[in-house]
Amino acid sequence: MTRLVKDGAEPLRLNLVVADFTRLDEVARVADTLAATLPTLDVLVNNAAVAAPEGRTYTADGHELTFQVNYLAPYLLTTKLVPRLAGVGGRVVNVSSLRHSGGNINWKNPAGDQYWPLAAYAQSKLALTMYTKSLAEAGGDSFIALSVHPGVFQTRLLRMYGRVGRPPEEAAPIITTLGSPTYPVVDGGYYDGLSLAKAAALVENPRARSRLEKLSVHLVASALR
C-alpha cells in the first residue's frame, strides 16, 4: 500500500484485502468481500503463484500445494467474481508461464503419481491457461479473458535459481497494457509479452477443457457453497 501511494495512487481509492491461497475458505471469503464492496470489476489480474516445493506438499484442503495456489485458488476467486465482470467490459488477465506448454494434466490424481517440481508447476500453469480459454468462451461478449507469459523476472518465485531475469518492475507495463479496455486483444488468447502466441494443444481441446472444468468444480465444491 505504501509503495502504491508513493507511486502516485490515491490512498482513499485503495482497499487491501488479504487471503492465504493455501486455504480455499479464505479465497472464498475474499471473493465474497470484494463482491459485496465492488458493484463492478474492471480488471482482475490473477498473478499470485508459487514455485513447486522440492517435495510433494498438501494444503489443508487436501490438494497438492502448487496446483491449489497456482490454479484452484484463482479459479475459485474468478468464478465467484464473474458476475461483477459481466456486462461492464471487464478483463481477466491470468499470469501463465511458457512452461505450461510442457505440462500435462494428471486427471485421476493432480498431485501426481510421482512428484517432480517442474512438472507440478507446468501442470498448474497449463490448467490456468486452459481455464482462461473456457472462461472467455463462457463469457461471450460480456467480458474478456486472456493469459500471458510476461517473461522471466527477478521475483521470489525464482529465488532458487539465483538472480535470473529482468527487474520485476518491467513486468508491470505488460500486465497493465493487456488489462486496459482500450488495448485490442484476442479473447481467450495466450500472450507472450504483448504478442499473441501459440498455446499448448490441450488449451485448444474443448473436450479436455470440459473435463478440467468438471474436475475443478469438484475440487473446490466445498468453498463454492
φ, ψ dihedrals at 44, nearest 5°: -125, 120
> What's the one-letter identity of residue 188?
G
Of the residues 101, 125, 133, 134, which is catalytic?
Answer: 125
Measured CA to CA, the distance from residue 13 to residue 1 in angstroms comes to 11
Q: Is-contact 63 72, C-beta < 8 A?
A: yes
Closest CA relative to residue 92, chosen from 39, 52, 148, 34? 148
- 121 among known catalytic residues: yes
| Cα–Cα distance for residue pair 55/8, rounded to 1 Å | 42
User: What CA–CA distance (Å, rounded) separates 178 from 145?
Assistant: 10
The region that residue 188 occupies, defined by phi over 0 for left and psi between -120 and 50 for alpha, beta otherwise, is: left
The active-site residue, picked from 71, 75, 80, 96, is 96
Which of 121, 131, 190, 191 is catalytic? The answer is 121
Count of alpha carbons within 13 Å of 143, Cβ hemisphere only? 28
Burial of 99 (0-12, 13-18, 19+ CB in 10 A): middle
Are 89 and 181 a contacting pair, CB within 8 Å?
yes
Positions marked catalytic: 96, 121, 125
